[in-house]
Every structure is written in structure tokens, then in C-alpha cells.
Structure 1
Amino acid sequence: MVWDRLFAEEPLDETKLRIELSRLLLQVNTTPDMSLKNKTVEEIYKYVQELRKQVPVNPHNFNYIINPRNVCDGIDVFIISYIHSAPTHYKRRTAIRETWGDPRNFDSFVFRLVFLIGKSTDKNVQEALLMESDRYGDVVQEDFTDSYRNLTYKGIMGLKWVTRYCRHAAFILKTDDDIFVNIFNVASHLQGLQKREGQVSNLLLCLVWYRMKVVRDPKSKWYLSRSEFRDDYFPTYCSGSAFMMSTDVAAEMYRVSAETAFFWVDDFYITGLLAKKVGVKHVKFNSVYALGPSTFLDKFTEESKWRTLTFGHVHNLNHMSRVWKKVLADRRPLLHAGSNKHNNESSMARYFH
């Protein structure tokens, strides 16, 4: 019902106003003003008008199916990583757990990760996810349908989970499940930031896209019609393959997502629209990315350059394991050369500073 039009044509109906008031109070999750009992119908109407402005345009009203809420409890987490995955991508998750995502590899910082997954319509897949969660304790699942057009829900899900269950972490790393991460390089760079700046806040560090062209080819899965997005180029945003944030940024992004209309291109929605609303600037980290899956192994084994690379797009999971073994082998001399953590961090930091 369009109340403003109604009220222009007929007197205010207090009964209808109080019904709408009750609904709005639930939508905005606020406590009613007890003095409303003594207000005039005109004053109630003004209050209803104010509440209408607070109704979320993009409420994330999904429920957890699986939620390992204790992942970060009782520990001083340096990096929490949330990884976009799909219900059937068990092999990819296993490859990450056995390589760069294994927290046991790191003794100079605390690292934790979770995999973000939507709902599967296949009963057998869902049962397998429950078993996987029981075994590893790192699967977060909400009850929206897991699909390409719902990736923005998954992005908001990550912001929400970190805000609620790991807000004390120093930094957040978001990746997809087909991305390799030299997590030692990530930690070294972030530790360097802390040493220079103290407590780091308002950070969004990524492969920055400038004037990315909007795809107008209807055959492409990235196709956008002009009715969906008018301009031919996106404003500045990050590649969604991998990006890093300070935890305060994620909390603010989650807050403003409720008042930011849904847009299905998740990379742009999270690191473009939400980033702009919270006022965070994109910090360029482009030189450490190698996102061509066909060239991943070549680039991460090229002796003159591979140590400077941090993120790679992986097509063959065996290549992920092979490169991770190379990373670990490369670090062993550093670990034996100096017994203290400062020496190890300094050795890695030379690739960034």
C-alpha cells in the first residue's frame, strides 16, 4: 500500500498505521518507543515514515545449515581466510587443506580458514558436506541456493561470518577455491604493514581493476544488459580471485550491505559498491598475481620470478601440490639459518620491501 498517496486522499487510519508500525519494527529489528502509546495519529505517522527509511533493501535473511562458530575462539588470529567454494568441490578444498591452507605449516603467525558454501539440492551431496564438516570443522553453509548468480550472497555471507565469529582477527584473506596462495608472502607483507603502521585499519589490498569493460555479449556468463548496468565501464574494484582486508572494513561492509541493493556481480558489489560506501581506498597489489591457469606452473617455477608471486589461478590440482612443495623446500634453508622468527620474517620481507 502506498501510504503517502492514501493519506493525501483520506484521513489517517490509526489501526492501519499501528499494523504497519509493528511490521516495520520487526524489519528494522528495533525496540518500539514506549511513548508511542500517547502519541497522536499524526505523530505515529511521522515515526512510521522514519522507520520506512531504515528497512533493509538487501536483507541477508539466510540461516546457517553448517556453522563452525568456534574456529577463531581463544586464539590470537593473524589471518582468517574465507574461501568461496561450491558443494561438489571437495577435491579443491582438500587440495587447499593439504597445501597452503594447513595451519600447521605456520609457527610465526596464527592462520585459520573456512570454506563458504550455499545449499545443494542433491541430498547425497548435502550428506557428504555434513560428513566433511564433521571431519574438518571448516565448512560454513547457508540456505541460499549455491549458484553463479548467487555469489553476492556468498560474499555477504563471508563478511557476516567474520564479523560475528572472528572479528578479533588482524586481517582477512578472501579467495576462491581455484586459487593458490603463497601464504608466507601474504603474512610477511601484512607483518611489514603492522611494523610500520601499528594497528592496521581501513585496508583493502588487491589486484585493482580500473575501467573494467562491461560484457555485452549475451552468450557470455558475465553478460550484463543495459537495464542491469547502464555504463560501459565499471568503477574501480578488486579482482575477486583474492583480496585482503583489515577486519574493520569487513564489519563496515557487512553493515552497509543491508542498505545496498543486490547486484549479482559479486566482485564489483563487495569491493566496488560496498567499498565506496564505507570509504575504503583500493591499495594496488597487482604485481603479485598470476591469474592465467594455463601458465600457473610455468610462472610459479620460473627461478627469476616465482618468489615474488603470491596468488595464482590453478587448473590442475597436482600443480598446486607441486608448487607448494617448492615453497616449503625454499623456506627450509631460511628456517635452519636462523632460529628466531625475526630472521625468518626478514628473509621473506625482502621480496616486498
Structure 2
Amino acid sequence: METKLSNRNVWKSLGADRAPHRCHIKTGFFLLLTLVFLLTAIAYVSGFPLETAVLPDTLYKKVLNQIRSYYVVTEYPPASENQTIFLKPKSVQQSPTQTTDISVHHHVAHPSNYHFTLDEPDKCSQWDPFLVLMVPVAPHQREARNAIRSTWGNESSVQGKAVLTLFLVGLTGGAEAQQQLEEESRQHRDLLQSNFVDSYFNLTIKTMVIMDWLATRCPQATFSMKVDSDMYINVENLMTLLLSPNTPRQNYITGYLMRNRSVIRNKKSKWYVSQELYPEPKYPTYLLGMGYVFSNDLSEKIVEASKEVKSFNIEDAYVGACLKQLGVAPSSPPDSSQFRAYLGQYNRENFLRVITTILRSPQQLIDIWKDVKQIKLE
């Protein structure tokens, strides 16, 4: 109702309630719209922030100012709804020398385009970890983070080696959610946050920001692992693999190998990738994104390779493309049965043998962890 009254008052102020002048008013109104469009276009090309000078400062614009070089927000739901934020790329082709703008259907994954709003820059110098477990997770998934903190994320020393677990999130989408996240960060000191919109489409950005943090804040670590928040990790078995004399400590990456995988061109699929983003019909060999472990020297190398490899929205396949650019071939694990997608019905012996597998819920992780730990105590 307020919008309707406001519009009516605007028209009255222009004289729209006077019938003889309606034609002129409409013409003037469209001329005004055209002028605004031209001013906006000039401002965009010149880089002048027109919206900050003319338009009110809303939450939408605060977020948009941080991602305006990459996307146009098409839906921005309240944080309480825990919905995905849908994005579409800008349709303006920019010069390839401009790192802050992108071509049509192309998002910039190189992490230099983003910065950390929550950080733990001294964590590795204090901890000196042999292994870092990096968990990309949505801001609202606190239950998943707490489940990890009480299970495999609580394993700080394994076979005499220091292990560090950290969580990476993007923007929360609301002041209240951000306040809660900052409080969680103060409590646990294990949260990293970067200023990209946290959505499924942006998982490639999320992964590259992880690589950047490892390269710039934690170069002393020997190994790192990118592991999803719905995973069970047997850290003992993982450490046994990493401490094996046959495991290289440079240019090494292993997990669940994906070979000879076709690029999905069906636009209805969540894994759709256009030919413009990735023209080849098949991906290079890559590691399934649920959990792959790598020698930490690769984090900086992958970041550098991303400058040359056009990004696309399948994050694990994109890392595979960066590895191909580097000339690094993913390694098969010594025992491929230790990296499992699903184990099916719970069997304790299976969980004692694996390194990774996907679970259904945070509570299942807690229950299985208690059972597996109990058998070790008996």
C-alpha cells in the first residue's frame, strides 16, 4: 500500500493527474529513464560508483558492492530462510586485462579478487601442523561444524603429528547471521570467512580461497585435505597413508579418482557446464570433491595455475584442470577402497578400514564416531 501511495504522489507531483498533459508526462518519464540508463552506463565504464551517490544504502547494495564485478544478484532471500543465493553473470564483455570484470557466463575464481573478513592468520605459526583439514561449509550449517568439532575435527595429534581443522564460509546474507558467525569464531577460533556469496555455483571460488589461505597463511604444513562437511574421516588411517615412505611430499594428490568423465551439457542438470566455459567434451582426471588430500606445495601452484585456467562451476573438475595445466597427475591411493562415496548400511568394520565416506547427517557422524572409538578402547 505504501508503494502504491508513493507512486501516486510521484505522479501527482509531475502533474500526471491532469489528463491533457499525460502524453507529455509519459514521454518525459521515459526520457528520464533513458537519461538514468545512460548515466549508469557511463558510470559503469568509468568506474564511478553512481549508486553510492544517488541511491540509498541498503543491505542489497552492501553485498552487491563486494561482488558487483562478478555477478548480478537475481534473488537474495533472508538469512533465516537458509536458501541458496542464485546468481547470474554480467553480460558485459570486459577487457581480459581487467581482473575485476568478467566475460559473459564466467566468474572469477582466482582468490586475489577476494579478501578474508574472518581470519586466523597466525594459527599455523602457533600450531605448526603436519596436516591441515580444510572444510568448506555454508554459514548456517553450525550443526555440521559442531559435529566435526566433537569427532574427527577434535583430533589434534595423530601418531605424533599435529593436525589442524578449519572451516571456510562465504557471506552470510544478513546482519544477525553474521553476528552469530562472529561469536562462533570468537568461541572456537577455527572459522575463516571470505567475501564471496556462499552458493553452490560458487564452490570453485570457495575451493580456490582455501588454496590461497593454505599458500599464504600455512606454507609450513606438509599435507592438506579439502573435505566436505558431510564426511566421515578416519584420521588414523589418513595419517598412516601420509606417513608411508611411499607417499611423496611434493606434487602429490590422491582421493577418489574420476577418470574419463564427460562434461554435462544438459541445462537442467545442477552439474551443467557450457561449452564457452569448458569447450572440451571430457574433463581431465580429477579427484571427487568430497575429500582429497594433497602435499601442501600444491596449494600455491594451483593458485598460480588458476590465473591461466578459465574457471567453471564444477570445483573438483576445475582443480583437475589446474593440475593438468601444472603437469601434475592425480595419484591412485594405495588402497582405493579407503576413499568411498557411500558405505551403505552401517558396519563398524568398514568404518575402521576407510579414510573417507559420505554420511547422511551430523548426528550420524557423532553416533558412528562414538561406536568406532569405543571399539578402540575395548
Query: 2:357 pairs with 301, 304, 312, which one?
Result: 312
- Post-superposition shift, 1:77? 1.2
Task: State the AA in 2 paired with 1:283.
Answer: S
1:117 corresponds to 2:163: no
Residue in 2 that maps onto 1:252: 301
- Post-superposition shift, 1:204? 0.7
C-alpha contact 2:283 2:321 (8 A) present in aligned 1: no
Residue in 2 that maps onto 1:289: 339
More relative contact order in 1 or in 2 (CA 8 Å, sep 6+)? Answer: 1
- Post-superposition shift, 1:99? 0.4
Q: Secondary structure at 2:243's aligned position in 1?
A: helix
- Measure, in 2, the Cα distance between the counterparts of 1:314 and 1:227: 35
Calculate the TM-score normalised by the size of structure 1: 0.72
- Post-superposition shift, 1:104? 4.4
Task: State the AA in 1 paired with 2:231.
Answer: I
- Measure, in 2, the Cα distance between the counterparts of 1:82 and 1:306: 21
Deviations 1:302-334 (A, max 9, x none): 53x43221111111222111221233223335x
Residue in 2 that maps onto 1:277: 325
Residue in 2 that maps onto 1:268: 317
1:97 corresponds to 2:142: no
Query: 1:77 pairs with 124, 129, 135, which one?
Result: 129
- Measure, in 2, the Cα distance between the counterparts of 1:218 and 1:155: 23
Query: 2:375 pairs with 330, 334, 344, which one?
Result: 330
- Post-superposition shift, 1:74? 3.3
Deviations 1:250-281 (A, max 9, x none): 111112222322212111111x1111122221
Q: Secondary structure at 1:281's aligned position in 2?
A: coil
Task: State the AA in 2 paired with 1:311.
Answer: T
Shift in alpha-carbon separation, 1:107–1:264, aligned structure 2, 3 A: same
Shift in alpha-carbon separation, 1:216–1:261, aligned structure 2, 3 A: closer
- Measure, in 1, the Cα distance between the counterparts of 2:265 and 2:246: 44
Structural RMSD (CA): 2.2
- Measure, in 2, the Cα distance between the counterparts of 1:319 and 1:105: 24
- Measure, in 2, the Cα distance between the counterparts of 1:53 and 1:217: 28
Map 1:217-236 → 2, pairs under 5 A? 217-236=266-285
Deviations 1:62-112 (A, max 9, x none): 111100112211343111011110111110011001101103464622000
- Measure, in 1, the Cα distance between the counterparts of 2:151 and 2:133: 14
Q: Secondary structure at 1:228's aligned position in 2?
A: coil
C-alpha contact 1:207 1:289 (8 A) present in aligned 2: yes
Give the number of equivalent residue pairs. Answer: 273
Deviations 1:212-239 (A, max 9, x none): 2322333221122334333433221110
Deviations 1:324-353 (A, max 9, x none): 1233223335xxxxxxxxxxxxxxxxxxxx
1:241 corresponds to 2:286: no
Shift in alpha-carbon separation, 1:253–1:225, aligned structure 2, 3 A: closer
Residue in 2 that maps onto 1:205: 254
Residue in 2 that maps onto 1:181: 233
Map 1:3-42 → 2, pairs under 5 A? none
Calculate the TM-score normalised by the size of structure 2: 0.67
What are the ranges of 5 or more consecutive residues in structure 2 without an aligned counterpart?
1-94, 103-107
The more displaced of 213-222 and 82-91 is: 213-222
C-alpha contact 1:77 1:169 (8 A) present in aligned 2: yes
Residue in 1 that maps onto 2:71: none
